[in-house]
Amino acid sequence: MKLIDRNNLAEKATRTFPGAAYYSDEQFQRELERIWFKKWLCAGRLEEVPKVGDYIVRQIGDESLLFVRGQDGDVHGFYNTCRHRGSRMCLSASGHLRGGTVTCPYHSWKYSMDDGHLLSAPNFPDNLEGFDRTQFPLMSFKTKVWQGFIWCSLDTEESAEDEISQLPAELGYYEKYHLAELKPGKVLTYEVNANWKLIMENSVECYHCTTIHPQLSRATPPDNAWWWNDEAPSESDFLDVGGMTLAENFERASLTGIATRPQFAEITDDDARAVYYFSVLPHTLFGLAADYVFCFSLWPVSAQKTKVLAYWLADPDLLNQDGILDDAFEFWDITNKQDWTAIELAQQGVKSRAFAGGGVIGLDDWLVGKFVEYIKKSLSE
Ligand code: FES
Ligand SMILES: [Fe+2]
């Protein structure tokens, strides 16, 4: 692991995107095509669809995506759109499909939830001229499981790799947190009135921590930050954001700092005194603490509105105790809301003519510059 001392960063300011990149609908459409419909995205946890027929729905812009636990035990991804005359299929954010099928609420076309093929289309006889039922399955997309999370890629190009090549096969230093074996104790969706890039930019820097996060800063003082990966994330979608050390009088990353849960079995005592952060670009952040993991994924609704899907994961054996994760949840819920307030103010400001040329990035927010590079490179591919 390469430690980068703050004092060894290249002393060179870089620029943010121009203001319009944070609110223009054209830019948003370009990002959908070149980033969101290309990259592997983190759709949720396997525990959200535990039983055959369980489903969750995710939305990117106008695109609605259905993830179903099939009868083969795998999670299958389908566009949530009927092939007859286009109706949305599943209307809830999550639910359960019975009998291995998914039925359209408009004219009752029925599809297999395993492979999407059209099972029945009332009053569409097989010999109807111009109609071949095999040509109208639910459209599918690729899904994978990585570290207990469900991932998807909407990329249909022949050259698109079936593997999540951007992600390391192993998590290296972080493997000992055994993310796949944890379970969500809490899942929450936030709505933020801001462009998704402003949220990602905020998530990779702690320059703002002293100003807006008194609780977080008491637990992990911003002066205790370090970074250890100066390789350009544009080469990969895995961004090692860095770590923060707990304040001396804190045993845990929480409001009180009091240890109420054991630390993860395989981490070192030094690890237990840190919170490590990494990001799988374009849209996730993972924070690994001594005894829980906080993570989120972003789901852009429009150029100026984003949903944030947040998870608090812990050892499943602990989760049958009522309120066992409350301290971790409250700690991050307070911190998240402080972030959303600041980011929404930024969203308002970037629309000013005064910001048309963009802003500037310095030493303490240098990773924002890496994110900007990554997006620029992705857009030009
Ligand atoms: S639009 Fe789905 S059955 Fe008609
Ligand atoms: Fe923050």
Q: What is the CATH number of the domain that holds 106?
A: 2.102.10.10
What pLDDT score does 223 carry?
83
Residue nearest to atom 4 of ligand 1 (CA): 107
The total of structural domains in the chain comes to 2
200 in the same domain as 333: yes
Closest ligand to 90 CA? 1
The answer to whether 316 and 310 are in contact (CB under 8 A) is: no
Q: Is residue 170 part of a domain?
A: no
* Last residue within a domain, chosen from 138, 165, 192: 165
Q: Which residues line ligand 1 (CB under 6 A)?
A: 82, 84-87, 104, 106-109
Is the domain of 16 the same as that of 76?
Answer: no
Ligand 1, atom 3: closest residue by C-alpha: 107
The answer to whether residue 54 sits within a structural domain is yes
Same domain, 159 and 187: no
Token couple for 40: 């592997």
| 190 falls within a domain | yes
CA of 20 to the centre of ligand 1 (A): 39
Whether residue 2 lies inside any domain: the answer is yes
| Residues 189 and 243 reside in one and the same domain | yes
Which of 165, 198, 233 terminates a domain? The answer is: 165
| Co-location of 258 and 333 in the same domain | yes
Q: What tokens does 205 get?
A: 């820097």
The per-residue pLDDT for range 24-66, each reduced to its tens digit, is 999 999 999 999 999 999 999 999 999 999 999 999 999 999 9
CA nearest to 326, candidates 257, 277, 254, 272: 254
What's the domain range around 200?
A: 1-39+175-381
Residues 133 and 258 placed together within one structural domain of the fold: no
Q: What is the pLDDT of residues 354-369, one digit of tens each?
A: 999 999 999 888 889 9
Residue 121 alpha carbon to ligand 1 centre in Å:
9
**Closest ligand 1 atom, CA of 104?**
2
* Same domain for 225 and 77: no
Distance CA 222, CA 224 (A): 5
Residue 4 gets which letter from DSSP?
Answer: B
- Nearest CA residue ID for atom 1, ligand 1: 85
Residue 131, domain member (yes or no)? yes
Residues 278, 233 within the same domain: yes
Query: pLDDT confidence of 3, banded at 50, 70, 90?
Result: low
Half-sphere exposure of 340 (CA within 13 A, CB side): 17
How far is 238 from 281, CA to CA, in rounded Å? Answer: 6
Distances in whole angstroms, Cα of residue 183 to Cα of each of 40, 48, 52, 274, 284: 22, 10, 18, 21, 17
pLDDT top residue among 51 and 240:
51
Which of 165, 200, 223 marks a domain boundary?
165
| 80-130 per-position pLDDT tens digit | 999 999 999 999 999 999 999 999 999 999 999 999 999 999 999 989 999
CA angle at 341 for the pair 311 and 301, rounded to the nearest 5°:
60
Question: What gap in Å lies between CA 335 and CA 254, rounded to an integer?
Answer: 11
Query: Are 147 and 205 within one domain?
Result: no
Q: Which CATH number characterizes residue 12's domain?
A: 3.90.380.10
Query: Ligand 1 center to residue 154 CA distance, Å?
Result: 23
Q: Are 20 and 46 members of one domain? A: no
Q: Relative to the CA of 82, which ligand 1 atom is closest? A: 2
Residues 216 and 294 occupy one common structural domain: yes
Q: Out of 117-121, 159-163, 254-258, 363-367, pick the least confident.
A: 159-163
209, 228: one domain? yes
